């Protein structure tokens, strides 16, 4: 996929000086990943292709784990009110993949800020930066799920008033429109809740500039 | 009800010097309020009396409004990702009543911090302090709803690492155990979701020290 980034609290310098290798690994994984799609189970658009968070998470986890990243890092008891685990970490870099409902962004930010200030070595070293991965608004997706442009608006407001100190790199996952792209389409055994894969195939599709009613790109498959 | 308080970021000084009248009004409302109960609709304890957030909110709103507090103060568009309105405000004091699921506490804190730093005059003046009202753990209540002791633990951790700057007074609503207390018992037209009151009566009950399986006090009505 193609990525956009937006940096806060000196994230660019932190990466350039201290975390170049970790960022290059993350960037490579994301840029080599195909767009993952599944069929919607939502009334009105049932069967239409939408962004597949389970498939995307699975791909990122496999790829980062093979590069020595920790996955599902347990959160210490004193901070259990902020969740059970952090998605990924390596040598001072924490990474949260957030395709869920938009309020989770604040939860991710707040706990990252605490891990930063407490210097907990969750990634093997004290946290120096958090990378938050989101999908672009362009993709049809489940209702109320976070997207990059929305996350950027929230972070812009929070940064304007210096609520957080931790360096943050926000990453958005995009695809080009109007040209064939290779995607990974997964069918799950229960269309709504299951993580059990029934079938997973590479397909070709085109993201159309003509928008859906929700302002997303329409996804047309190429060659049946 | 009886109240406990815990102060963060200089809240005590802020109240003593600048916000004494507003605090005395709040304290009076809470101390004169009876415990509000309703029948549970939860499997296993259906019909048992539990804490009634709707009735409590309604009582506080009526009482504060009559003292000139603003209620349901709209949140400006730029911060709409943090919700639609703040519960109450008067002359530099914001007040959030939080009986809902525990993650809402972080949302309340974060938006209060932003209103503090932006000096938005939501209460008629720039915000100087936020008062957060919670119920004690002792009361049987809906699953996963926030209680004072839990809120205190979270605030203790956040304060330890100076995540927030805004002065915060956390208030817990308690009742004495083992002696008759007057409560307000409300029956709603739909036991789970309705806010439509079918009946509201004063009753006498005793909070028993003998605990329920969830570690709450058992509530016994006195005199049928």
Q: What is the pLDDT of residues B19-29, one digit of tens each?
A: 999 999 999 99
Q: Quote the CA–CA distance of A68 and A74 in Å, as a whole number.
A: 17
Instruction: Please list every residue in chain A whose beta carbon sits closer than 8 Å to the beta carbon of residue B162.
Output: 117
Question: Closest to B81 (Cβ–Cβ): which among A81, A154, A163?
Answer: A154
Give the phi and the psi of residue B196 in degrees, each rounded to 5. -85, 120
Give the phi and the psi of residue B217 in degrees, each rounded to 5. -75, 140
Which pLDDT belongs to residue B27? 98
Q: Quote the CA–CA distance of B36 and B54 in Å, as a whole number.
A: 9
Strand partners, B94: B89, B130
Reference A139, options A217, A54, A45, A35; nearest CA is A217
Q: Quote the CA–CA distance of A152 and A1 in Å, as a whole number.
A: 19
Which pLDDT belongs to residue A67? 98
Q: What is the pLDDT of residues B16-73, one digit of tens each?
A: 999 999 999 999 999 999 999 999 888 777 888 999 999 999 999 999 999 999 999 9
List, in order, residues 6 or more apart from B87 with CB less than 8 Å away.
Answer: B61, B71, B72, B73, B95, B96, B97
Most confident of A42-51, A162-171, A207-216: A162-171
Distance of CA B44 to the CA centre of its chain: 26
Which pLDDT belongs to residue B213? 66
Instruction: Please list every residue in chain A whose beta carbon sits closer than 8 Å to the beta carbon of residue B150.
Output: 81
Q: What is the pLDDT of residues B126-148, one digit of tens each?
A: 999 999 999 999 999 988 899 99
Check CB contact under 8 Å for B114 and A158: yes
Share of chain B above pLDDT 90, in %: 74
Which pLDDT belongs to residue A213? 66
State the Cα torsion B155-B160-B164-B168 to the nearest 10°: 50
Which pLDDT belongs to residue B224? 56
Check CB contact under 8 Å for A81 and B150: yes
Question: Closest to B106 (Cβ–Cβ): which among A110, A153, A157?
Answer: A110
Q: Identify how many contiguous H helices and E strands chain B contains and give both numbers.
A: 5, 11
pLDDT at A156 over 80: yes
Strand partners, B3: B173
Phi-psi region of A49 (alpha: psi -120 to 50; beta: other; left: phi over 0): beta
The token duo for B133 is 């009202």
Q: Average pLDDT, stretch A19-32?
A: 98
Most confident of B48-62, B185-199, B209-223: B48-62
B37 near B50, Cβ under 8 Å?
yes
DSSP letter string, B101-117: BTTHHHHHHHHHHHHHH
Which pLDDT belongs to residue A46? 82
Which pLDDT belongs to residue B189? 86
Average pLDDT score, chain B:
92
Q: Average pLDDT, stretch B164-190?
A: 95
B64 near B26, Cβ under 8 Å?
yes
Which pLDDT belongs to residue B126? 97
What's the length of chain B? 224
Binned at pLDDT 50, 70 and 90, residue A146 comes out as very high
Q: What is the pLDDT of residues B149-163, one digit of tens each?
A: 999 999 998 898 888
Binned at pLDDT 50, 70 and 90, residue A45 comes out as confident
Residue numbers of A between 9 and 68 with CB closer than 8 Å to B: none
Does the beta carbon of A78 lie under 8 angstroms from any beta carbon of chain B? Answer: yes
Please, what sign has the CA dihedral across residues B83, B89, B93, B96?
negative
Q: Average pLDDT, stretch B214-223?
A: 86
Which pLDDT belongs to residue A80? 87
Does the beta carbon of B104 lie under 8 angstroms from any beta carbon of chain A? Answer: no
Reference A39, options A182, A202, A215, A192; nearest CA is A192
Instruction: Please list every residue in chain A whose beta carbon sits closer than 8 Å to the beta carbon of residue B79.
Output: 157
pLDDT at A224 over 70: no
Check CB contact under 8 Å for B163 and A117: yes
The token duo for A12 is 């660019």
Question: Closest to B163 (Cβ–Cβ): which among A102, A114, A158?
Answer: A114
Q: Average pLDDT, stretch A146-164?
A: 92
Average pLDDT score, chain A:
92
Q: Quote the CA–CA distance of A86 and A108 in Å, as a whole number.
A: 9
A180 near A161, Cβ under 8 Å?
no
Q: Quote the CA–CA distance of B219 and B136 in Å, as a whole number.
A: 14
Measure in Å the smallest separation between the Cα of B81 and chain A Cα atoms.
Answer: 7
Distance of CA A139 to the CA centre of its chain: 13
Does the beta carbon of B83 lie under 8 angstroms from any beta carbon of chain A? Answer: no
Q: Average pLDDT, stretch B94-115?
A: 91
Q: What is the pLDDT of residues A115-136, one digit of tens each?
A: 999 999 999 999 999 999 999 9
The token duo for A27 is 């960037």
pLDDT at B195 over 60: yes
In three-state secondary structure terms, A149 is helix
Binned at pLDDT 50, 70 and 90, residue A101 comes out as confident
Q: Quote the CA–CA distance of A21 and A92 in Å, as a whole number.
A: 11
Binned at pLDDT 50, 70 and 90, residue A23 comes out as very high
Give the phi and the psi of residue A196 in degrees, each rounded to 5. -85, 120
Check CB contact under 8 Å for A110 and B163: yes
Which DSSP symbol is given to B214? T
pLDDT at A59 over 90: yes
pTM: 0.83
Lowest average pLDDT, out of A192-196, B31-35, B100-104, B166-170, goes to A192-196
Q: What is the ipTM of this complex?
A: 0.71
């Amino acid at each position: 996929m193609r990525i956009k980034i937006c940096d806060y609290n000196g994230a660019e310098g932190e990466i350039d000086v201290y975390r170049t290798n970790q960022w290059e690994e993350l960037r490579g994984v994301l840029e080599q990943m195909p767009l993952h799609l599944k069929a919607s189970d939502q009334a009105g658009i049932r069967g239409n292709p939408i962004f597949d968070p389970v498939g995307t998470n699975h791909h990122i986890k496999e790829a980062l784990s093979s590069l020595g990243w920790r996955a599902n890092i347990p959160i210490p008891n004193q901070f259990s009110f902020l969740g059970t685990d952090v998605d990924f970490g390596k040598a001072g870099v924490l990474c949260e993949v957030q395709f869920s409902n938009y309020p989770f962004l604040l939860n991710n930010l707040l706990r990252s800020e605490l891990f930063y200030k407490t210097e907990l070595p969750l990634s093997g070293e004290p946290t120096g930066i958090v990378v938050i991965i989101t999908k672009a608004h362009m993709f049809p997706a489940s209702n109320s799920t976070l997207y990059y442009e929305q996350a950027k608006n929230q972070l812009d407001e929070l940064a304007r008033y210096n609520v957080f100190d931790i360096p943050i790199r926000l990453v958005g996952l995009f695809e080009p429109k109007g040209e064939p792209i290779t995607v990974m389409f997964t069918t799950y055994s229960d269309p709504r809740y299951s993580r059990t894969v029934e079938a997973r195939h590479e397909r070709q599709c085109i993201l159309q500039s003509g928008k859906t009613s929700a302002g997303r790109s329409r996804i047309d498959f190429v060659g049946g």
